[in-house]
Protein backbone atom coordinates (compact mmCIF):
# COMPACT_ATOMS: atom_id res chain seq x y z
CA UNK A 1 0.00 0.00 0.00
CA UNK A 2 1.43 3.38 -0.98
CA UNK A 3 1.63 6.30 1.41
CA UNK A 4 -1.10 8.13 -0.52
CA UNK A 5 -3.38 5.09 -0.42
CA UNK A 6 -2.79 4.71 3.30
CA UNK A 7 -3.55 8.40 3.94
CA UNK A 8 -6.67 8.31 1.76
CA UNK A 9 -7.94 5.19 3.56
CA UNK A 10 -7.42 6.86 6.95
CA UNK A 11 -9.16 10.08 5.90
CA UNK A 12 -12.09 8.15 4.43
CA UNK A 13 -12.86 6.87 7.95
CA UNK A 14 -13.08 10.35 9.52
CA UNK A 15 -16.69 11.20 10.39
CA UNK A 16 -16.45 14.77 9.01
CA UNK A 17 -15.14 13.62 5.62
CA UNK A 18 -16.53 11.66 2.71
CA UNK A 19 -15.02 10.42 -0.52
CA UNK A 20 -15.74 12.57 -3.55
CA UNK A 21 -14.83 13.12 -7.17
CA UNK A 22 -12.35 16.02 -7.29
CA UNK A 23 -13.65 19.16 -8.98
CA UNK A 24 -10.50 19.21 -11.11
CA UNK A 25 -11.41 15.76 -12.39
CA UNK A 26 -8.06 14.15 -11.55
CA UNK A 27 -7.54 11.43 -8.96
CA UNK A 28 -9.57 10.97 -5.78
CA UNK A 29 -10.80 13.46 -3.20
CA UNK A 30 -12.25 13.87 0.26
CA UNK A 31 -14.63 16.63 1.23
CA UNK A 32 -16.42 17.99 4.26
CA UNK A 33 -19.88 19.55 4.44
CA UNK A 34 -18.18 22.91 3.69
CA UNK A 35 -16.36 21.75 0.57
CA UNK A 36 -13.40 19.90 -0.83
CA UNK A 37 -10.45 19.28 1.46
CA UNK A 38 -7.92 17.14 -0.40
CA UNK A 39 -7.22 15.83 -3.89
CA UNK A 40 -4.96 12.81 -4.27
CA UNK A 41 -3.48 13.28 -7.74
CA UNK A 42 -0.80 10.62 -7.70
CA UNK A 43 0.80 8.08 -5.40
CA UNK A 44 2.89 10.92 -3.93
CA UNK A 45 1.15 14.27 -4.45
CA UNK A 46 -1.83 15.58 -2.50
CA UNK A 47 -3.39 19.02 -2.86
CA UNK A 48 -4.92 20.26 0.39
CA UNK A 49 -7.26 23.24 0.67
CA UNK A 50 -6.23 25.15 3.77
CA UNK A 51 -7.95 28.45 2.82
CA UNK A 52 -6.11 31.72 2.23
CA UNK A 53 -6.33 32.77 5.85
CA UNK A 54 -4.96 29.48 7.21
CA UNK A 55 -2.04 29.54 4.76
CA UNK A 56 -1.17 33.05 5.99
CA UNK A 57 -1.70 32.16 9.64
CA UNK A 58 0.54 29.09 9.54
CA UNK A 59 3.14 30.46 7.12
CA UNK A 60 5.97 30.18 9.64
CA UNK A 61 5.17 26.54 10.32
CA UNK A 62 4.78 25.67 6.65
CA UNK A 63 7.95 27.44 5.57
CA UNK A 64 10.34 24.89 7.02
CA UNK A 65 8.86 21.76 5.48
CA UNK A 66 10.40 20.33 2.32
CA UNK A 67 7.24 18.23 1.93
CA UNK A 68 5.02 21.30 1.37
CA UNK A 69 4.77 23.42 -1.76
CA UNK A 70 2.73 26.58 -2.02
CA UNK A 71 1.47 28.31 -5.14
CA UNK A 72 1.30 32.05 -4.50
CA UNK A 73 -2.31 33.20 -4.43
CA UNK A 74 -3.70 29.69 -4.00
CA UNK A 75 -5.64 28.49 -0.99
CA UNK A 76 -4.32 24.98 -1.74
CA UNK A 77 -0.95 23.59 -0.67
CA UNK A 78 0.66 20.53 -2.21
CA UNK A 79 2.20 17.85 -0.03
CA UNK A 80 4.72 15.36 -1.32
CA UNK A 81 4.36 12.04 0.50
CA UNK A 82 7.86 10.57 0.64
CA UNK A 83 7.86 9.20 4.21
CA UNK A 84 5.44 8.08 6.91
CA UNK A 85 6.03 11.39 8.68
CA UNK A 86 4.61 13.18 5.61
CA UNK A 87 1.36 11.21 6.06
CA UNK A 88 1.27 12.34 9.70
CA UNK A 89 1.80 15.92 8.53
CA UNK A 90 -1.03 15.56 6.00
CA UNK A 91 -3.43 14.23 8.65
CA UNK A 92 -2.56 17.13 10.95
CA UNK A 93 -3.07 19.66 8.16
CA UNK A 94 -6.42 18.10 7.22
CA UNK A 95 -7.52 18.81 10.80
CA UNK A 96 -6.35 22.39 10.34
CA UNK A 97 -8.21 22.59 7.02
CA UNK A 98 -11.44 21.35 8.59
CA UNK A 99 -11.20 23.97 11.33
CA UNK A 100 -10.27 26.68 8.84
CA UNK A 101 -13.33 25.94 6.71
CA UNK A 102 -15.54 26.28 9.77
CA UNK A 103 -13.84 29.30 11.34
CA UNK A 104 -12.94 31.23 8.19
CA UNK A 105 -15.33 30.19 5.41
CA UNK A 106 -14.78 31.56 1.95
CA UNK A 107 -17.02 34.52 1.11
CA UNK A 108 -20.20 33.34 -0.62
CA UNK A 109 -19.34 35.33 -3.74
CA UNK A 110 -15.87 33.78 -4.07
CA UNK A 111 -15.68 30.48 -5.89
CA UNK A 112 -13.10 27.94 -4.84
CA UNK A 113 -10.70 27.75 -7.75
CA UNK A 114 -9.53 24.25 -8.64
CA UNK A 115 -6.43 23.04 -6.90
CA UNK A 116 -2.70 23.38 -7.46
CA UNK A 117 -2.74 20.57 -10.01
CA UNK A 118 -4.79 22.84 -12.27
CA UNK A 119 -2.02 25.43 -12.08
CA UNK A 120 0.40 23.22 -13.98
CA UNK A 121 3.88 22.11 -13.15
CA UNK A 122 5.10 25.64 -12.48
CA UNK A 123 4.59 25.61 -8.74
CA UNK A 124 7.66 26.07 -6.61
CA UNK A 125 8.38 26.14 -2.93
CA UNK A 126 7.40 29.66 -1.99
CA UNK A 127 8.95 31.90 0.62
CA UNK A 128 5.93 32.36 2.87
CA UNK A 129 7.57 35.04 4.99
CA UNK A 130 5.68 37.82 3.20
CA UNK A 131 2.24 36.35 3.76
Q: Rounded to two decimals, what is the model's pTM?
A: 0.80
CATH code of residue 18 = 3.90.1150
Q: How far is CA 54 from the centre of its chain?
A: 11
Backbone φ and ψ for 7, nearest 5 degrees, come out as -65, -45
Residue 48 is classified by DSSP as E
DSSP reduced 3-state for 68 = strand
Query: Is residue 70 included in any domain, yes or no?
Result: yes
Which residues form the domain of 38? 3-105
Query: Is residue 128 included in any domain, yes or no?
Result: no
Split into its structural domains, the chain has a count of 1
Query: Is residue 38 included in any domain, yes or no?
Result: yes
**What is the pLDDT tens value at each position of the chain, 131 positions in all?**
899 999 999 999 999 999 998 888 888 999 998 888 999 988 899 999 988 888 888 877 777 788 898 877 788 889 999 999 999 999 999 999 999 888 766 655 455 556 776 544 333 333 333 32
Amino acid sequence: MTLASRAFAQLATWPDLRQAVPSCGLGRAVRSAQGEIAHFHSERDVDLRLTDRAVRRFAKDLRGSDAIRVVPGSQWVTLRLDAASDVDLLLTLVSVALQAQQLWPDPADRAVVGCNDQRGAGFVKADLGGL
